[in-house]
Copies of this chain bind each other. A is one copy, B any other.
Amino acid sequence: MNNFKFQCATKIVFGRGAELETGKEVAAISKNILLHFGGGSIKRSGLYDRLVKSLREAGVTLTELGGVQPNPRLDLVKEGIALCREKGIDFILAVGGGSVIDSAKAIALGVQYDGDVWELFEETGKVGEVLPTGVVLTIPASGSEAGNGTVIKNTDVGLKRNVNDEKLRPRFAILNPELTLTLNRYQTACGVSDMFSHVFERYFAPEQNVEYTDRLCEATMKTIIHNGSIACAQLDHYNARAELMWCGTIAHNDFLQAGRTPDFASHKIDHEVNVVCDCAHGASIAVLLPAWAKFVWKHGVQKFVQFAVRVFDVEPNFENPEETALEGIARLEAFYRSIGLPSHLQELGVKRENFATIAKNCKTFAGDQVGNFVKISRADMLEILELAF
């Protein structure tokens, strides 16, 4: 087990009616906030009215900024920064899913930053003071509600980049599973895939002797698979929605990487796939993870056997562990198909001629590689994309 540090101070307020506590939670931090959201769904659902009432009763003044799109854009972030500076706003409440939260965090990064906020994503600038944020979650998927990261798309340069900093963890996350009962099957499946990928990428770490973290990851993946299947078959199933919502938060708050180095090669590649096709991250990562697995499994057969046996209850073939390892990957693909997710990049509009751009733009680490379970070069990426095609 590696040495590690872990702190996730985000306060969780979970359950039916939890959003009614928003005013109280916000007022303890700020009385002048930006209310950040996406389209009109929070107004149609009545959530917006409940939140505004709760905030006003707590004496909070709010300025609105809607319009966040999936794969959130830098231009709206800059608009939010200007608005916060103009109004002296010192807290941002994100109401929505991962895109809204990440957009809110990017605004929070930029308000007190003396320069172009994109510099922080390009790592040519240094994170300084960050405004506090809070979240009312409506789409369980990204885990950004208790995570330390934000991912933003810069359409001018055609890149998606992330910033990770402990100051980015929201102060509170309000998680009411009732708010997720209206997500359609495809949105639900994409969320399931997104949160599953966060655990999977942490599970395939190069370190040995991390039994507890392994078992916690397995517990989380099993719960996501079981309840993901239930929720996709019965969209208004409160208990399945509740399990998913809680799993999604824990999947990405870093608890599940204690003592080891997560992989995240597939996420790095997927960022650039999303720039090319602008599809849902949950859809494309469902195609990339099995492709990655097929490319790397021979470098860690026993870990893939463990995955197959413990996560998908595959009966181990002791005489032929390779068969067991491959069966685990096949079960993962079958699971994705069963909840209506694509199996091929082609289905998402990605073309073979995009591969070179994806590999070229992918943000690599030292040695011009991504990944930790197995180091993936840009040439390897092309092979993985071919397997995913």
Contacts and interface: CB of A to CB of B under 8 A. Distances in A.
Contact of A7 (B12, B247, B258): B12
A277 interface: no
Interface string A211-247: 1100110111011001100000000000100110011
Contacts of A56: none
A3 interface: yes
A15 B222 CA distance: 29
Nearest to A5: B13
Nearest to A242: B1
A259 interface: yes
Nearest to A221: B215
Contacts of A220: 212, 215-216
Contacts of A2: 15
B10 A14 contact: no
Interface centre among A5, A9, A10, by most B CB within 10 Å?
A: A5
Interface in A287-331: none
Number of copies: 2
B10 A7 contact: yes
A11 interface: yes
Contacts of A259: 14-15, 242, 246
Interface residues of A, number: 38
Contacts of A11: 5-7
Contacts of A1: 15, 239, 242-243, 246
A4 interface: yes
Interface centre among A13, A17, A246, by most B CB within 10 Å?
A: A246
B209 A239 contact: yes
Nearest to A215: B219
Contact of A18 (B3, B16, B226, B250): B3
Contacts of A8: 8-9
A14 B4 contact: yes
Contact of A5 (B12, B209, B215): B12
Given A7-B12, A11-B5, A12-B6, A223 B243 contact: no
A293 B242 CA distance: 29
17 contacts: A1-B243, A3-B14, A3-B15, A3-B18, A7-B11, A12-B258, A14-B259, A209-B242, A211-B223, A211-B226, A211-B227, A212-B219, A212-B243, A212-B250, A216-B220, A218-B219, A246-B259
Interface of A: 1-18, 209, 211-212, 215-216, 218-220, 222-223, 226-227, 239, 242-243, 246-247, 250, 258-259
